[in-house]
Structure 1
């Protein structure tokens, strides 16, 4: 009885995440009630909005107030943008939406980042104070909220981007605003994708809100298959290898050989894919069971043949969002803007300060000066520079979106550099038009290697931690211990091999597997689900293993 009560109150010990039994108890109850109300559109939307608020409360407690605030603000701003006939007023309103949303996001996500950067740059000692907590405590004269620490609300980046896309799409006249705030609240907070995506675009999801619920046998089969596939990815290909090998290495890289550190990075690429792709697979499956379609967020990213192709396959909802709402407004591949140069300069100065290495500073400043001089005498070079500045800026900001640290900016910059370098390489590459299987696999291997080893900036806890990892790889590979490492962690490496092999299976083979599942009788589906459940929970850790992207 106590466990049941824990399900319906906020508790850090019993969060509602997809790998916890509590969530599936919650979903069974929620789905039963959904089956009762699903035929009445208004009632269905209201119910899903309220159940989604409850889900978010279970995940983030009183931070539900931030979600409600964003919902109310953007609902009324969207209505006023649509009603206004004056273009200036429309610009002011959409700018207000963007500013309010980004201000809230920056306060919770980047307060420490900006304060620490300012202190380092100007040698000051400012400290972060949680003014919202201070204000909240003043109401009851009790220290209920901690004022000396700002805690990041789960999923704030995802629902902030969704509310911004709504206001911008209404401004661009791609969308007629919703009439009911309950319907809009449902769009913002739909619980399967609320805390870790995929990012739902208003123009794609809002039209579904007013349609009757239709759940076909195909939707049910696809939905349950996606859920089972997501659980396998998350609990076996992510959590199992992390708990039994990766976390041990990354916690103390100097205690392991360089070879073990390299293998940990290869494993981390599988872990983060299994973790994030597994979450979105489950989210898409849950939505299908309720008659709603969420966008595909991953398309076999480790089959990518270059860095640009990788970002068309990885976190697709974020990549396309950044393209449409940042890259194109900054000028895209057509022109540069003043904003582009200002923002890029600030970011580059920050990165240089983070490195604090005179050689790096000299190389970057010399390169920038050379590029500037060339642009003065050649229009083609100038256009190329503008295009690549916009691309790099998008990737740098994309890196900063992932985390409030300069190491994330560096990670984003390295990925942007990989895309830019490939754009020039493909013009001279003798292999660009070669479709031989071995050429394709060579491209895949090079791309995966590049993506994997830039991720040390993503996984490393600090620049010092990253430096220790590099030191082990550079000076202590200890090849003579490689076989011992492989034998000692052989189960982990077998799971890693299985994960990559299944990822690289041809699309036609994966389609056949899903088709065979769909054609199987009901009792077979039950047996498959039971088998997956047993395997997953046999590999399951008693330790809390949150989804990696919850922190973003």
Structure 2
């Protein structure tokens, strides 16, 4: 007999149990969504309405009535963009764009940064202004940037505004990417809405590979390493030796990559199965041999957004070398602040911005010198560049993850002054499974792209019934190994 009260409770928003891609609720949600979506797949209007309704409900399950902010944002920017496009007066166009930017940034600022600046004011003036302790709406940083890029692109006449409000609401609320990205441009997404829904073997194979791979990265690698080792290190670094702290930093590098890229992969896979292609958000970033290359491979949608809507408008490289380096540093400072209201994030962004400016000097020098390095020397430099870039990124992750500057410097102090390499065997015996999962994670990360393509092709050749059987078996396997307490994705807070 069905327990009605329990069913209603499951369907309502629970702040202690937000819906996750790796939750049992999501599998039922996704199965029902697919059934309804396939039932109307021949109608563009039907697909839009089904997808939008399920997306808004998904967002409601994630953060309650803050779902209204998505609808409100869609209404405002849908109308403002059309006004901007059809207004002949340039000054009015610019005023409307500024108004749109102020509204979007203002909404983001209010929820995300109000308490941060209240704290600064209190520190500077010895004031006693009470923090608001606002609950941060999940995904607000992502859909705010999507709104901004849309209105800016319309203002630049790079795209025409959509005529149908439901199309825009569908684009903004699209549930696979709503909460954790990628940040999708309207120009890439909206034209796909009117295309007929068709799946081929490549779509099925690629989608399955992305979903399975994303779940594996998130649950088997990221959650396991974090819950069984990394969290203990960062909770209080002073209680651990330098060797433990260093391995903890390497572990966190895997945790944040597998957590965020795992979710992004699942979003891409779900989108692919439902007829939409979203640009990839990661490209094996720890294979980068320079910090410039790293930011072309890490959180690609954010770094490209910052480039197109911040770095280039600031002047990019058009106003001299000195200004270019300042623009790079400023862009990354703002990128760090985008991640959260914390001096740690600002410092993290500042370090990356400084490194990008220095790397730009290196690149310019190589171009001027015109010295071609080939053979074994090029290979050595490549490997050295990968190791140097990886360790710089890991050093920056310390400040990104640590709860405070004190904890970050405490961890660094332990690595420098209390390394104790002699405890290696004892440490290995205590965390054998964790270390082997870390090895597996790095091996998979450095796996050649052609190996991934081979797996995708094999999955694409499997009949539909076989694909369903593989997914069911894989989900069952994950249920056996995943922890009883699901780990909230790291980028939920951004």
Range class of TM-score, shorter chain: over 0.9
Q: Which runs of 5+ in 2 are unaligned?
A: none
Residue 70 (structure 2) pairs with residue 128 (structure 1): no
Distance 2:375 2:288 in 1: 14
Q: Which moved more, 1:485-494 or 1:316-325?
A: 485-494
Residue 130 (structure 2) pairs with residue 188 (structure 1): no
State the match for 1:433 in structure 2: 373
How far off its partner does 1:434 sit?
A: 3.8
> Secondary structure of 1:297's partner?
coil
Structure 1 residues 318 and 435: CA distance shift in structure 2, 3 A: farther
State the match for 1:116 in structure 2: 119
Q: Which runs of 5+ in 1 are unaligned?
A: 130-148, 336-382
Residue 95 (structure 2) pairs with residue 92 (structure 1): yes
State the match for 2:139 in structure 1: 155
Structure 1 residues 433 and 528: CA distance shift in structure 2, 3 A: farther
Distance 1:176 1:94 in 2: 15
Distance 1:435 1:299 in 2: 25
Q: 1:453 aligns with which of 391, 395, 399?
A: 395
What aligned pairs does 1:196-275 form with structure 2 within 5 A after superposition? 196-275=180-259
> Secondary structure of 1:298's partner?
coil
State the match for 1:421 in structure 2: 358
* CA offsets 1:411-450 (integer angstroms, 9 cap, x no match): 0111111122222234567997346433322211111111
Structure 1 residues 509 and 107: CA distance shift in structure 2, 3 A: same
Contact 2:215 2:262 in 1 (8 A): yes
Residue 53 (structure 2) pairs with residue 50 (structure 1): yes
Residue 407 (structure 2) pairs with residue 465 (structure 1): yes
* CA offsets 1:439-473 (integer angstroms, 9 cap, x no match): 32221111111101111111001112212212222
* CA offsets 1:27-65 (integer angstroms, 9 cap, x no match): 100110011112111222122111111110000001112
Contact 1:7 1:14 in 2 (8 A): no
* CA offsets 1:194-219 (integer angstroms, 9 cap, x no match): 00000010111111122222222321
State the match for 1:135 in structure 2: none
Q: CA RMSD in A?
A: 1.7
Contact 1:14 1:22 in 2 (8 A): no
Contact 2:119 2:131 in 1 (8 A): no
Distance 1:537 1:477 in 2: 38
Distance 1:334 1:454 in 2: 29
State the match for 1:334 in structure 2: 318
State the match for 2:321 in structure 1: 384
Q: 1:178 aligns with which of 162, 169, 194?
A: 162
Q: How many residues align?
A: 486
Residue 332 (structure 2) pairs with residue 395 (structure 1): yes
State the match for 2:33 in structure 1: 30
Distance 1:20 1:4 in 2: 16
How far off its partner does 1:491 sit?
A: 0.8
How far off its partner does 1:167 sit?
A: 0.7
How far off its partner does 1:525 sit?
A: 3.6
What aligned pairs does 1:468-479 form with structure 2 within 5 A after superposition? 468-479=410-421
> Secondary structure of 2:297's partner?
coil
Distance 2:375 2:395 in 1: 26
Structure 1 residues 435 and 419: CA distance shift in structure 2, 3 A: farther
State the match for 1:410 in structure 2: 347
State the match for 1:16 in structure 2: 19
How far off its partner does 1:528 sit?
A: 3.7
